[in-house]
Chains A and B, each alone.
Chain A
Amino acid sequence: MTPVFRHGRLRLYLLRLLDEEPRHGYEVIRLLRDRFMGVYAPSPGTIYPRLARLEEEGLVTHDEDNGRKVYRITEAGREELRSRGAELNELEEELSASVSDIVREVREDVRDTVRSLREELTRAAREMRGAEREQARQARDTAREAAEAAREQARQTRENALAQARQAREQARQAKEEALRSAKRLREDAAHLRDETREQWGGGNWGNWGDWGQWTGWSGHDLGALRDLERLARDFVTDLRGVAWDSGTLLGSEVIPTLRDILADTLDRIRDEVFDIHRTPPSDGAAEHPEAPEPAEPPASPGE
């Protein structure tokens, strides 16, 4: 703020205040301060020397009141005021203007503060909304990523399951094929064995079980026993097939001869021990029955 009093103006204003009525020095100070709303607060160190000067010049005088000086304007002082009337009016206007300045200052100050606060809070609110949106977006993204990961996992799991199923199916298929192959081989082996047997049995007319009943040599056997025998043989084939199947080690070419030997041995034992028929063990198969040295004719040779 510009200086309130230009040169000589404060002196004029002091005279004006004392022209209203006699005043204590501190009262003059307070009036000045009130008039300028606290903005201009002259110190006693400014005012008292000026009052003393005015007194020296004979423009004011003072009385003692309870030990305090009460200043009073003199006729010379009034004369001075009158002679500077125009200047005094100008001063009054300036002082009023300075009050307006103060008011304007206060108002603008508050408005500026309030405006900047509004802007600041609006910005903060916008930032908060932005941060919230960002958070929400991130949360959404995270959720989406998680969902995608879960989906991907599910997809992989499904694929794995499918692959496993495919593999299992393939294995099953292979096993089936292998089984079919081995069954075929078994059938072929069986057919081979049958043919062999037929040959051994002289071939010809042995095909029909039903005819067996006609044979007197077999009169001790009824058809029921034959059927039981047949069932036994069939069950054995089934069991054998099952064992081979269950073993998992598929029947290879090296298994078949072993099997064939065992079966031949078994047949020999059956022949010896069950049917008591002596026959030469087939070829060079391990002869576990040395008591069967010579080949024997089929037991029920019709020609006998």
Chain B
Amino acid sequence: MTRWTVAAPTALDFDEVTELNVRLIGGTVAVLAADDQEPSSGAAARGTLTVTELSGRPLQVSHENGTLTVSYESLTWEGVLGLLKPRKDSATVAITVPAACPIQLGVLSASAVVAGLRAGAAVRAMSGDITLNGVAGDVSAETMSGEVAGCDLDGEIRFKSMSGGLTLAGGSVDSLTVNTMSGQVTADVALNNRGGGCGAGSLHVNTMSGAVTLRLPADSDAKIRLQSTSGPVRTEFETLRTVKAPASHTVSGNVGAGTGHVSVTTMSGAVTLLRGSAVNSRGDGPPYPPGYGMESTTL
């Protein structure tokens, strides 16, 4: 095991990084994927750490059996959301790891940026924002008040927040699960329908008061159920039926073949499901017109 105590801006290289753990308090942490290693090179997966700003306590860096850890003394993953006493320790850290390296980031007020990783990422932030770009695999982001912004994510995506909002732009997901109290949820994604049946993509959003705005491609295949206890529910998909009852406003039905699942449940939030343009050209034909798939659902 190799240890460093980093008390000043520095850059470090690591021969082999197969796992990354970072705990920060303030500042910025960015984890970027280095280009995929050339398989022919036969070299071990490498990583770099660049610390550009540092104030407060020094960072503790350790590297053991491919696991790179950047943290402060006595700051654990579990402690990230529980540390109520404000700390002034701040660092600006940029780390590159191989794209296939799974990572775990925990920050308090620091903002976290993750880009290009293919083996998933678990990110927790107290008040800091989380930015995810082109991340695939099992991705989870949890915040109290921090905002989560994601671009082009792919895989099993999970978001959880108290008041922090979530915006997801682009990408196609195997599953997207969002739980928030008051955060706004905005997502423009496609569902992966890998193999249909049990492999179908799913999208589940639960909020208390947060408004939910989703946009799915016009040629999506999903069974859809949108429900709000007191908020309005609207959709551009014409195949869905609206049922209004005293304490629930529900829009449900099938879009396309109905292989995937989309459910949105909210107490008082407004729910809007928009229809985007078709993603799959399915041959050279034009995008399928609205209401495509009614035939297959009625057969």
Interface residues of A (CB under 8 A from B): 26-27, 30-31, 33-35, 37-38, 41, 92, 95-97, 99-100, 102-103, 106-107, 109-111, 113-114, 117-118, 121-122, 124-125, 128-129, 132
B148 — nearest CB in chain A belongs to which residue? Answer: A114
The residue in A38, A122, A132 that gathers the most chain B C-beta atoms within 10 A of its C-beta is: A38
Q: Is the CB of B35 within 8 A of A125?
A: no
B194-222 toward A: CB 8 Å interface, digit per residue (1/0)?
A: 00000000000000000001010000000
Q: If A103-B113, A107-B131 touch, does A124 touch B215 (CB 8 Å cutoff)?
A: yes
B residues near A (Cβ < 8 Å) are 9, 11, 13, 28, 30, 32-35, 37-38, 41, 43, 46-48, 50, 52, 92, 94, 96, 111, 113, 115-116, 131-133, 149-151, 167, 169-170, 186, 188, 213, 215, 234, 236, 272, 274
Contacts of B150 in A (CB 8 A): 110, 114
Given A103-B94, A113-B151, A118-B167, do A31 and B13 touch, yes or no (CB 8 Å)?
yes
CA distance A34 to B48 in the complex (A): 7
Q: CB distance A100 to B92 under 8 Å?
A: yes
Q: How far is the CA of A38 from the CA of B170 in the complex (A)?
A: 23
Once A106-B32, A129-B234 are accepted as A-B contacts, the answer to whether A99 and B52 lie under 8 Å apart by CB is yes
Which of A41, A102, A111, A122 is within 8 Å of B35, CB to CB? A41
B43 and A103 form a contact (CB under 8 A): no
Kindly provide the distance from the CB of A74 to the nearest chain B CB, expressed in whole angstroms.
22
Q: In the complex, are the beta carbons of A103 and B169 less than 8 A apart?
A: no
The answer to whether residues A125 and B92 also contact, given A99-B50, A107-B131 and a CB cut-off of 8 A, is: no
Query: With contacts defined as CB atoms under 8 Å apart, how many contacts are there between chain A and chain B in the complex?
Result: 109
- Taken together as a complex, chains A and B put the C-alpha atoms of A32 and B18 apart, in Å, by 20
Given A96-B11, A97-B52, 13 other A-B residues pairs in contact with their CB atoms under 8 A:
A31-B46, A33-B35, A37-B34, A38-B33, A41-B35, A96-B9, A107-B131, A110-B113, A110-B149, A110-B150, A113-B170, A117-B186, A125-B272
Q: Is the CB of A121 within 8 A of B131?
A: no
Q: Pick the contact of A35: B33, B48, B272 (CB < 8 A).
A: B48
A103 and B28 within 8 A (CB):
yes
How long is the Cα–Cα vector from A37 to B133 in the complex, in angstroms?
Answer: 14
The residues of B that contact A33 with a CB separation of less than 8 Å are 34-35
In the complex, are the beta carbons of A121 and B46 less than 8 A apart? no
* Chain B neighbourhood of A26, CB < 8 A: 38, 41
Q: In angstroms, how far is the closest chain A Cβ from the Cβ of B105?
A: 13
Bound together, the chains give a CA A114 to CA B170 distance in angstroms of 9
CA distance A106 to B32 in the complex (A): 9
* Inter-chain contact A111/B46, CB cutoff 8 Å: no
Choose one: A38, A110, A117; the contact of B188 (CB below 8 Å).
A117
A100, A107, A117, A121: the one within 8 Å of B52 (CB): A100
Taking CB atoms, residues of chain A closer than 8 Å to B132 are 110
Nearest CB on B from A73, distance (A): 17
- Minimum CB–CB distance from B123 to chain A (whole Å) comes to 13
CA distance A97 to B234 in the complex (A): 47
Are A128 and B236 closer than 8 Å at their CB atoms?
yes
Find the A residue at minimum CB distance from B94. A99
Taking CB atoms, residues of chain A closer than 8 Å to B28 are: 103
Please report the C-alpha to C-alpha distance between residue A303 and residue B149 in the assembled complex, in whole angstroms: 139
B96 and A34 contacting across the interface, CB-CB below 8 Å:
yes
Report A-chain residues with C-beta under 8 Å of the C-beta of B41: 26, 30
A114/B167 contact (C-beta < 8 A), A96-B52, A125-B234 known: yes
CB distance from A4 to the nearest CB of B (A): 14
Which listed residue, A30, A110, A113, A128, touches B272 by the CB 8 Å rule? A128
A121 to B48, CA, bound (A): 39
> Do B169 and A106 have beta carbons less than 8 Å apart?
no
B215 and A121 form a contact (CB under 8 A): yes
Provide the bound-state CA to CA distance between A121 and B43, in Å: 46
Using CB atoms, name the residue of chain A closest to B35: A38
Most chain B CB within 10 A, of A35, A103, A106, A122, is at: A103
- What's the minimum C-beta distance from A218 to chain B, rounded to whole angstroms? 99
Residue of A nearest to B37 (CB): A30
Interface centre among A31, A107, A109, A129 (most CB of B within 10 A): A107
Which 10 residue pairs of A and B lie closest in terms of their CB atoms, listed nearest first? A103-B30, A114-B149, A117-B169, A114-B167, A125-B272, A34-B34, A37-B32, A99-B94, A96-B52, A38-B35
List 9 A–B pairs whose Cβ atoms lie within 8 Å, in order of A's numbering: A31-B46, A34-B34, A38-B33, A106-B115, A111-B131, A113-B170, A121-B188, A125-B213, A125-B272
Residues of A contacting B94 in the complex (Cβ-Cβ under 8 angstroms): 37, 99-100, 102-103
- When distances are taken between beta carbons in the complex, the residues of chain B under 8 Å from A124 are 215, 274
Most A Cβ at <10 Å: residue of B46, B50, B272: B50
Nearest CB in chain A: distance from B134 CB, A: 9
Is there an interface contact between B113 and A106, defined as CB atoms closer than 8 Å?
yes
Please name the residue on chain B nearest to A125 by beta carbon.
B272
Kindly list chain A residues whose C-beta atoms are within 8 Å of the C-beta of B38. Answer: 26, 30
Smallest Cβ-Cβ distance to A97: which chain B residue: B52
Q: Which residues of A contact B170 (CB under 8 A)?
A: 113
Q: Which residue of B lies closest to A116 (CB)?
A: B169
Q: Which residues of B contact A117 (CB under 8 A)?
A: 167, 169, 186, 188
- State how many angstroms separate the Cβ of A264 from the closest Cβ of chain B: 90
Chain A residues whose C-beta falls within 8 Å of the C-beta of B11 in the assembled complex? 35, 92, 95-96
